Structure 1
Amino acid sequence: MNATDRTPADLLRSALAADPARPLVTFYDDATGERVELSVATFANWVAKTANLLQGELSAEPGDRVALLLPAHWQTAVWLLACSSVGVVAEVAGDPGAADIVVSGPDTLDAARACSGERVALALRPLGGRFPQAPSGFADYAVEVPSQGDRFVAYAPVSPEEAALVVAGREFSGAEVVERARADAGGLGLTGPGSRVLSGLGYDTWEGLAAGLYGPLASGGSVVLCRHLGQLGEDALAKRIESERVTSVSR
């Protein structure tokens, strides 16, 4: 974290410069048994590839609206930071009919077809796997993203004062996301490097985004992001907290 960081993408660049090898997002899906751990460097690589897909293949420009019809998931976190890198507005659970681009998980494809612009589908399978057959009218993210470049340079400067995120009906600029993430980090138990929050919250509220992505990024900490956490018993949760060296819990 750097005091001059003004956008979420700035926070990621600072994290990459400070310690690229440290864990940033550890993801569990307790319905499938999946576990994925992404270091800062690996996460940043996914973000760069996704931002290149957005800018180069989908022709996204600053100010465009991207409806993210996705659950709390490591790939959703990647898309949020890719949107920040390009300067487009990430609308979590946004209206696809009013969006320039829609990014959908497998359970929201019918709703996503209301978007008249570009459509991208994520299978949300373990290890970022592709659909057995791409949904009609959608680009399969897992097919399109591997060939994208590992470095990203925005065509146009991203203003921290412009809209960057819409969640639960509230719009935030990039600077507001950073400021609020910093302000909320302490209450989440994220006090600096080594802090590790376990979050079972969804990404459809600010609180879920703060615990599940922005707070760890702003504080130099990390997150254990758990989908379907309710399927995990208390004893198994206690073991996870111990094995993952969790320092605080949000659920």
Structure 2
Amino acid sequence: MNTTDHTPADLLRSALAADAARPLVTFYDDATGERVELSVATLANWVAKTANLLRDELSAEPGDRLALLLPAHWQTAVWLLACSATGVVAEPDPGPDAISAADLVVSGPDTLEAARACSGERVALSLRPLGARFHRPPDGFTDYAVEVPGQGDHFTPYSPVDPDAPALVVGGEELTGAQITERARADAAVRGLGPGSRLLSVLPYDTWEGLSAGLFAPLAAGGSVVLCRNSHGPAASALAERRKSERVTHTAD
């Protein structure tokens, strides 16, 4: 990636310029049998639409705090990168105090009650295959799948995002966009990732290790991630074959 990339959003822009067609995120949910593969261009389009939704529909501004109540999922990766593009501070797996203090909250179907503690804008994701909408939208929430398709396919911030401003809170630690990028590059080097690497991760997104392996390090290295959810227990037996079929070069478990 370009050495002038200072935020995760910068890394995505460089990946788009380098090879828009290559796979970036391949997602499996072993509880549902879902498989989704997103190229750099497809993921970037989702990120742009989500960033436009954040800024134009939800009135989010740089420095606003977003409580992210989502599992390791391809749509969570989209929200993390959209926050980076807009300067919004994302906090995955926040506690009750952080949810109530947040300016807005993004929730999956299993965390809606906890998300109601946020007095700001609330967005809900069904996490159904192919990003489908809820059968019945939850009261008090914007249904992401209903609102995001109509957003613009390109996003340009009104002013450049400050790479030294807070961007992510994980494990009680606040990181800037520059720190995320620096750590991601360092993690990629430790793991031996490079262009073309395929890292399979079964780690949740509630720690830096999980976020790095499941998104940031492969992105920083010019590689890709095979992100697996619900792959423990009986489903773990499928991972060996998946490593072959997905041409996995590295594993994080």
TM-score bracket relative to the smaller structure? over 0.9
| Corresponding residue to 2:124 among 121, 137, 152 | 121
| Corresponding residue to 2:133 among 127, 130, 134 | 130
Runs of 5+ consecutive residues of structure 1 not aligned to the other structure? none
Equivalent residue, structure 1, for 2:63: 63
Q: How far apart in 1 are the matches of 2:244 and 2:59?
A: 45
- Residue 235 of structure 1: how far off its partner (Å): 4.3
Maintained 8 Å contact 2:92/2:170: yes
Q: TM-score, normalised by structure 1?
A: 0.98
Q: How far apart in 1 are the matches of 2:132 and 2:234?
A: 24
Equivalent residue, structure 2, for 1:165: 168
Alignment length (residue pairs): 250
Q: How far apart in 2 are the matches of 1:143 and 1:78?
A: 16
| Corresponding residue to 2:239 among 237, 240, 243 | 237
SS in 2 for 1:145: helix
Equivalent residue, structure 1, for 2:78: 78
Maintained 8 Å contact 2:25/2:38: yes
Letter paired with 2:247 = R
1:150-229 alignment runs, 5 A limit: 150-190=153-193, 192-229=194-231
SS in 1 for 2:149: coil
Q: TM-score, normalised by structure 2?
A: 0.97
Equivalent residue, structure 2, for 1:108: 111
Q: How far apart in 2 are the matches of 1:232 and 1:221?
A: 29
Q: How far apart in 2 are the matches of 1:92 and 1:71?
A: 9
Q: How far apart in 2 are the matches of 1:240 and 1:231?
A: 16
- Residue 194 of structure 1: how far off its partner (Å): 1.2
Maintained 8 Å contact 1:181/1:215: yes
Maintained 8 Å contact 2:30/2:235: no
Q: How far apart in 2 are the matches of 1:105 and 1:235?
A: 27
- Residue 75 of structure 1: how far off its partner (Å): 0.1
Q: How far apart in 1 are the matches of 2:216 and 2:81?
A: 10
Maintained 8 Å contact 1:188/1:250: no
SS in 2 for 1:51: helix
Q: How far apart in 2 are the matches of 1:26 and 1:134?
A: 27
Of all paired residues, the percent bearing the same amino acid is: 74
- Residue 231 of structure 1: how far off its partner (Å): 4.1
